[in-house]
Amino acid sequence: MQSPAAHPMNHPAHVPAAAPPVLALEGLRRSFRQGERTLHVLNGASAALWRGQAVALVGPSGSGKSTLLHIAGLLETPDAGRVVVDGRDCTGFGDNERTRVRRRDIGFVYQFHQLLPEFTALENVVIPQLILGRSRRAAEARAKELLGAVGLGGRLDHRPAELSGGEQQRTAICRALANNPSLILADEPTGNLDPDTSELVFQELLALIHDTGVAALIATHNLDLAARMDRVLRMENGLLVETALTRGAAAR
Ligand SMILES: Nc1ncnc2c1ncn2[C@@H]1O[C@H](COP(=O)(O)OP(=O)(O)O)[C@@H](O)[C@H]1O
Ligand SMILES: [Mg+2]
């Protein structure tokens, strides 16, 4: 089989051909029993993402975007197929190994921020680093750097309820990046924000992806945002299809 890296359309010019993808999804299948019926959500979905790429994941509601992100993030297992993170095939991993890869190498951003309500913005970005054994001092320095970069340097001591929706999502993005993951998975990260805030948070997310060199798979309903990412993957009948979108697609 031809390796995904050899596929010219998938492969950005600035990445050496020998670099393994940060994330490879290979032939993923997942179905759910719904009463008498079986719903086939993923039917052999495959894709590869390389460093520094923001990749949009689009498709109608119910097409399987969240299911795919959960499997890519090792939160759920597929019925068949492989998930390879940084060259490691995680298919046979047990719970402890999956958790370790998730904590070290993957950052998640959800539609609703899921910050810890009792803790400040700073602490929400510090805590995942302490879990990995970083010193409090180093963790706070990293958290301040990230929060400062998204304009929250003056909000470090605010709890989530004292932050606006956009500020909560910015904090959640900083939390996802705190441990220098190689992969970001985001499920409608600006879907709960008003259009202006959504635009600003999206710009910051994109800038952070390109600055840090992570690979990111970002589910979105917004085709204009999708068209501004480096690549677009569309869920179609349980398969991932590389798609070309032009700017302004949603307006037509
Ligand atoms: N745990 C589950 N049990 C049964 N059906 C599910 C489960 N998770 C998702 N589904 C179904 O799978 C389909 C795809 O869902 P989802 O991945 O959430 O789509 P999307 O994120 O694109 O809206 C939907 O029809 C949904 O109802
Ligand atoms: Mg979803």
Whose C-alpha lies nearest to ligand 1, atom 16?
Answer: 64
In tens, the pLDDT along 206-226 reads 999 999 999 999 999 899 999
Whose C-alpha lies nearest to ligand 1, atom 9?
Answer: 67
Which is nearest to 252 in space by CA: 219, 223, 221?
223
User: Is any ligand 1 atom within 6 A of the Cβ of residue 76?
Assistant: no
Q: Answer whether residue 101 shows pLDDT above 70.
A: yes
Instruction: Provide the edge-to-edge strand list for the sheet that holds 88-89.
Output: 37-49, 23-34, 80-85, 88-89
User: Is any ligand 1 atom within 6 A of the Cβ of residue 238?
Assistant: no
Would you tell me how many other CB atoms lie within 10 Å of the CB of residue 45? 27
User: Is any ligand 1 atom within 6 A of the Cβ of residue 67?
Assistant: yes
What's the mean pLDDT when you consider all of the chain?
Answer: 91
pLDDT of residue 7: 45
User: Is any ligand 1 atom within 6 A of the Cβ of residue 30?
Assistant: no
For 185, residues 6+ apart whose C-beta sits below 8 A from its C-beta are 69, 72, 73, 106, 107, 108, 109, 216, 217
Question: Which letter, b or e, does each residue of 204-220 get, where b requires 16 or more Cβ atoms within 10 Å of its Cβ?
Answer: bbbebbeebebbbbbbb
Where does the pLDDT of residue 8 fall: very low under 50, low under 70, confident under 90, or very high at 90 and above? very low
- Ligand 1 atom at minimum distance from 69 CA: 17
* 171 vs 8: CA distance, rounded Å: 36
Q: Answer whether residue 159 shows pLDDT above 60.
A: yes
Ligand 2 centroid–CA 141 distance in Å is 34
Could you give the percent of the chain with pLDDT greater than 90?
A: 85
26-231-71-134 Cα dihedral, nearest 10 degrees: 120
Would you tell me how many other CB atoms lie within 10 Å of the CB of residue 54? 25
Ligand 1 centroid–CA 123 distance in Å is 33
- Per-residue pLDDT, averaged over 44-55, amounts to 97
Where does the pLDDT of residue 6 fall: very low under 50, low under 70, confident under 90, or very high at 90 and above? very low
pLDDT of residue 244: 87
